[in-house]
Structure 1
Amino acid sequence: MSQTVQHRRRGRPRQAPAEAEDAPVQSLDRALALLATLAEADGLTLTDLAGRADLPMSTAYRMLLTLQRRGLAEFDASTQLWLVGVETFRIGTAFLRRRKLADCGRDAMQGLVAACGETANLAVAEEDGVVFVSQVETHEAIRAFFRPGTRALFHASGAGKAILAYRPPQAAAATLKRVGLPRFTERTLTTLPALLADLAAVRERGYAVDDEERNLGMRCVGAPIFNEFGEAVAGLSVSGPTVRVTPEAIARFGPLVRDAAARVTRAIAGRPPAA
Structure 2
Amino acid sequence: MSNKQPDAVSSVQKTMAIFETLSSEKEIGISELAQRLMMSKSTVYRFLQTMKTLGYVSQEGESERYALTLKLFEVGARALEYVDIIDYANAEMVKISDETMEALHLGALDEDSIIYIHKIDSKYKLSMQSRIGKRNPLYSTAIGKVLLADLPEATVRECLKNVDFKQSTPKTHKNIDELLAELPKVKAQGYGEDNEEQEVGLRCIAVPVYDRFGKVIAGLSISLPTMRFTESKKEEFINYLHASAATISARLGCTEYSATE
TMscore range, shorter length: 0.7 to 0.9
Quick one: which of 185, 198, 202 aligns to 2:186?
Answer: 202
Of all paired residues, the percent bearing the same amino acid is 25
Instruction: Give the structure 2 partner of residue 53 of structure 1.
Output: 37
Given candidates 14, 19, 28, the residue that maps to 1:44 is: 28
User: TM-score scaled to structure 2, two decimals?
Assistant: 0.85
In 2, Cα distance between the equivalents of 1:200 and 1:55? 53
Q: Which amino acid aligns with 1:43?
A: E
Aligned counterpart, 2:201: 217
Three-state SS of the structure 2 residue aligned to 1:47 is helix
1:35 corresponds to 2:19: yes
| Number of the residue aligned with 2:173 | 189
Q: Which residue of structure 2 lines up, in the alignment, with residue 151 of structure 1?
A: 135
Question: Which structure 2 residue ranges, 5 or more long, are not aligned?
Answer: none
Root-mean-square deviation (CA, aligned residues, Å) is 2.9
CA distance in 1, matches of 2:8, 2:160: 36
Conserved 8 A contact 1:207-1:255? no
In the TM superposition, what is the alpha-carbon distance from 1:223 to its structure 2 partner? 0.5
For the Cα contact (< 8 Å) 2:250–2:257, is it kept in 1?
Answer: no
| 1:212 shift after superposition | 1.0
* More displaced 10-residue stretch of structure 1: 100-109 or 113-122: 100-109
Structure 1 residues 111 and 199 mapped into 2: Cα distance closer, same or farther (>3 Å)? same
Structure 1 residues 24, 179: closer, same or farther in 2, change over 3 A? closer
Whole-angstrom distance in 1 between the partners of 2:187 and 2:11? 48
Q: Secondary structure at the match of 2:28?
A: coil
Relative distance call for 1:64 and 1:192 in structure 2 (3 A) is closer
- Give runs of aligned pairs for residues 2-151 of structure 1, distance below 5 A: 16=1, 25-77=9-61, 81-151=65-135
Alpha-carbon distance change, 180 to 233 in structure 1, aligned in 2, over 3 angstroms:
farther
Q: CA deviation at 1:224?
A: 0.9
Structure 1 length as normaliser, TM-score?
0.81
Call closer, same or farther: CA 1:22–1:236 in 2, change over 3 Å. Answer: farther
Determine which of 154, 160, 176 is the counterpart of 2:144.
160
Change (3 A) 1:116 1:73: same
1:28-70 deviation digits (Å, cap 9, x = unpaired): 3212211122113333333332233232333222222221222
Aligned counterpart, 1:9: none
Shift of 1:216: 0.7
Matched, 1:258 2:234: no
Equivalents in 2 of 1:182, 1:268: separation in Å? 35
The question of whether the paired residues in 2 share the 8 Å contact of 1:70 and 1:87 is answered with no
Unaligned runs of 5+ in 1: 1-15
